[in-house]
C-alpha cells in the first residue's frame, strides 16, 4: 500500500465544445516526490489540475489521489489535497489571519484549532507581521504566499499548485521556491504546473511535458536533456527572417530536426558528432550567403528539450513550419 502512487491518472480526456483540452493523459506521482507539469499557455495544465482537484469531471478516463477516485470519492480526495492557484483566491476585505481562520473553519476545524493552525501557517510563510492587516494592502508576493498558506491549513498530503509563481518578480519567486522546497522536504507530494523551465528544473524530481493536451515526454530533468542526444549546435542569425532559411539549410544534419527560436533569433540542432556537424553547417551557411552572428556547440538545456518537443501556437490556417514566427516579423529590408 505504501508504494501505491499518491497521484495517478489514466487516459484522461476532456473537451470544451470543439476544443480538446486533454487528449488522453496519463500521470503517476510517487509519494513524497515532485512532478513538474511543463507546458505552454493552453496546453491543458489547468484542465488536468481541475480534474485532479475534483472541480471538473473528465469525459473519459479516471484519476485517483492516494487511492481515492476523484469522481466517485471526491470528498475523500478533497480531504487529502491542497490547491494553490495562479490567481490568489483570498478575500481582500479580510485580514490575512481572518482568511486563514475561515479556511480552517471550512475544513471543519473547531474555532481554537482554526486559530492555532492560522497562526502556524502565518509564521511559516513569514506573514505574521502583516497578519492583522487587510489583504487589500498586501503586495502581489504576499498575496501569493497567503494563497499558498490557505492551501496548507488543512495539512494536505498532496499539494497541487497551478503556476504558483507566474507573474511574480524574480526575488519573490525564489522566496516561494524555498517554501515549496521546505514542504517537500517534510514529505508533501507535489504536482506543480509551470511555464518556467528553470522552475521545473529546480523543484521537480520528474518532469512531464504537455503539449496540446498530450504528454510528449516524461523523465527526470537529466533524462530529458539526454534525450536530445549529446550536444546542441546553435546558430544565431544576424537578420530577421533568415530563421526559416537556416532551418531548411540545416535539415538533415545533426541527430534531430533543427528548431527555430524566434525570440532568441537562433536555430538549434541536436548533434552527436559535434565538430563534423559544426563544419558541415558552417559550409552550408557560407555557401548560401547567410549572415550569422555566432555558431557554437554547447550542452543542451531544458529549454532545448522544450523547444524540440512542443509546438509554438500559431494563427489558425498558418500551420506551416515550426519556425513561423508567432509575432509578426518587423518590416524586412530586401536587398537584391
Ligand X SMILES: Nc1ncnc2c1ncn2[C@@H]1O[C@H](COP(=O)(O)OP(=O)(O)O)[C@@H](O)[C@H]1O
By C-beta, is 42 or 241 nearer to ligand X?
42
What are the C-alpha distances in Å from 114 to residues 124, 128, 155? 15, 16, 12
Q: Which stretch in 16-24, 125-133, 229-237, 304-312 sits in contact with ligand X by CB under 6 A? A: 16-24
Residue placing its CB nearer to ligand X in the complex, 130 or 161: 161
Cell of 206: 520528474
- Report whether 231 contacts 274 (CB < 8 A): yes
Three-state SS at 219:
strand
Helix (H, G, I), strand (E, B) or coil at 210: strand
Q: Which is nearer to ligand X, 37 or 246 (CB)?
A: 37
Among 6, 7, 8, 44, binds ligand X (CB under 6 A): 44
Among residue numbers 182 through 211, which ones bind Mg ion (CB under 5 A)? none
Does residue number 46 form part of the binding site for Mg ion (CB under 5 A)? yes
Q: Order of strands, edge to edge, in the sheet holding 60-65?
A: 19-29, 7-16, 60-65, 68-69
Tell me if 46 contacts ligand X by CB under 6 A.
yes
The DSSP letter of residue 44 is S
Q: Using the structure block, give the residue that is written with the C-alpha cell 497551478.
A: 162
R_g of the chain, CA atoms, integer Å: 23
Contact of 271 with 282, CB cutoff 8 Å:
no
How many residues touch ligand X under the rule CB under 6 A: the total is 11
Name the residue nearer to ligand X (CB basis): 33 or 47.
Answer: 47
Assess contact for 240 and 329: CB atoms under 8 A. Answer: yes
What is d(CA 137, CA 123) in angstroms, rounded to the nearest whole number? 19
φ, ψ for residue 312 (rounded to 5)? -75, 135
What is the smallest separation between the CB atom of 40 and Mg ion, expressed in angstroms?
10
Task: Considering the complex, state which of residue 163 and residue 242 has its C-beta at the smaller distance from Mg ion.
Answer: 163
- The interface region with ligand X, picked from 38-46, 104-112, 222-230, 267-275 by CB under 6 A, is 38-46
Question: Does residue 205 contact residue 195 with C-beta atoms inside 8 Å?
Answer: no
Q: Smaller CB distance to Mg ion: residue 208 or 269?
A: 208
Nearer to ligand X (CB atom), residue 100 or residue 197: 197
The 8-class DSSP code of residue 279 comes to H
- DSSP codes, 3-60: TS-SEEEEEEEEEETTEEEEEEEEEEE-TT-EEEEE--TTSSHHHHHHHHTTSS--SE
Residue nearest to Mg ion (CB): 46
Residue 323 binds what, of Mg ion, ligand X, none (CB under 5 to 8 Å, by partner type)? none
Query: Which residue among 8, 27, 39, 302 contacts ligand X (CB under 6 A)?
Result: 39
Closer by beta carbon to ligand X, 8 or else 46: 46
Q: Does 21 bind ligand X (CB under 6 A)?
A: yes
Q: Which of 16, 60, 283, 321 is close enough to bind ligand X by CB under 6 A?
A: 16
DSSP assignment of 292-323 equals EEEEEEE---HHHHHHHHSPPP--TT----TT
Least Cβ distance, residue 43 to Mg ion (angstroms): 8
- In Å, how far from its chain's centre is CA 215? 12
Residue from 4, 41, 182, 248 that binds ligand X (CB under 6 A)? 41
- Beta-bridged to residue 95, according to DSSP, are 134
Query: Binding residue for ligand X (CB under 6 A) from 8, 33, 47, 268?
Result: 47
Residue 310 is a binding residue for ligand X (CB under 6 A) = no
State the minimum distance, in angstroms, from the CB of residue 27 to Mg ion.
16
Residues of this chain that bind Mg ion (CB under 5 A): 45-46
Residues of this chain that bind ligand X (CB under 6 A): 16, 19, 21, 39, 41-47
Amino acid at each position: 500500500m505504501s508504494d501505491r502512487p499518491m497521484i495517478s491518472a489514466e487516459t484522461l480526456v476532456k473537451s470544451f465544445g470543439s476544443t480538446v483540452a486533454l487528449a488522453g493523459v496519463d500521470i503517476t506521482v510517487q509519494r513524497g516526490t515532485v512532478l513538474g507539469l511543463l507546458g505552454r499557455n493552453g496546453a491543458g495544465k489547468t484542465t488536468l489540475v481541475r480534474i485532479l482537484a475534483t472541480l471538473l469531471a473528465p469525459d473519459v478516463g479516471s484519476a485517483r489521489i492516494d487511492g481515492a477516485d476523484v469522481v466517485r470519492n471526491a470528498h475523500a480526495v478533497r480531504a487529502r489535497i491542497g490547491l494553490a492557484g495562479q490567481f490568489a483566491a483570498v478575500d481582500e476585505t479580510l485580514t490575512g489571519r481572518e482568511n486563514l481562520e475561515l479556511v480552517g473553519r471550512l475544513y471543519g476545524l473547531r474555532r481554537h484549532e482554526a486559530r492555532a493552525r492560522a497562526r502556524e501557517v502565518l509564521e511559516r510563510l513569514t506573514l505574521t507581521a502583516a497578519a492583522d492587516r487587510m489583504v487589500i494592502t498586501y503586495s502581489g508576493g504576499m498575496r501569493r504566499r497567503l494563497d499558498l498558506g490557505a492551501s496548507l491549513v488543512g495539512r494536505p498530503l498532496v499539494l497541487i499548485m497551478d503556476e504558483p509563481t507566474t507573474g511574480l518578480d524574480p526575488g519573490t519567486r525564489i522566496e516561494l521556491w524555498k517554501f515549496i522546497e521546505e514542504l517537500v522536504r517534510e514529505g508533501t507530494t507535489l504536482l506543480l504546473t509551470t511555464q518556467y523551465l528553470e522552475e521545473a528544473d529546480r523543484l521537480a524530481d520528474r518532469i512531464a511535458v504537455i503539449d496540446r493536451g498530450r504528454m510528449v515526454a516524461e523523465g527526470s530533468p537529466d533524462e530529458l536533456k539526454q534525450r536530445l542526444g549529446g550536444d546542441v549546435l546553435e546558430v544565431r542569425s544576424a537578420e530577421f527572417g533568415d530563421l526559416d532559411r537556416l532551418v531548411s539549410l540545416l535539415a538533415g544534419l545533426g541527430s534531430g530536426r533543427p528548431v527555430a527560436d524566434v525570440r532568441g533569433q537562433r536555430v538549434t540542432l541536436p548533434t552527436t558528432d559535434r565538430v563534423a556537424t559544426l563544419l558541415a553547417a558552417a559550409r552550408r551557411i557560407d555557401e548560401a550567403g547567410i549572415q550569422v552572428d555566432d555558431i557554437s556547440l554547447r550542452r543542451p538545456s531544458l529549454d532545448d528539450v522544450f523547444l524540440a518537443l512542443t509546438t509554438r501556437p500559431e494563427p489558425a490556417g498558418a500551420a506551416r513550419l515550426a519556425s513561423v514566427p508567432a509575432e509578426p516579423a518587423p518590416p524586412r529590408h530586401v536587398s537584391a
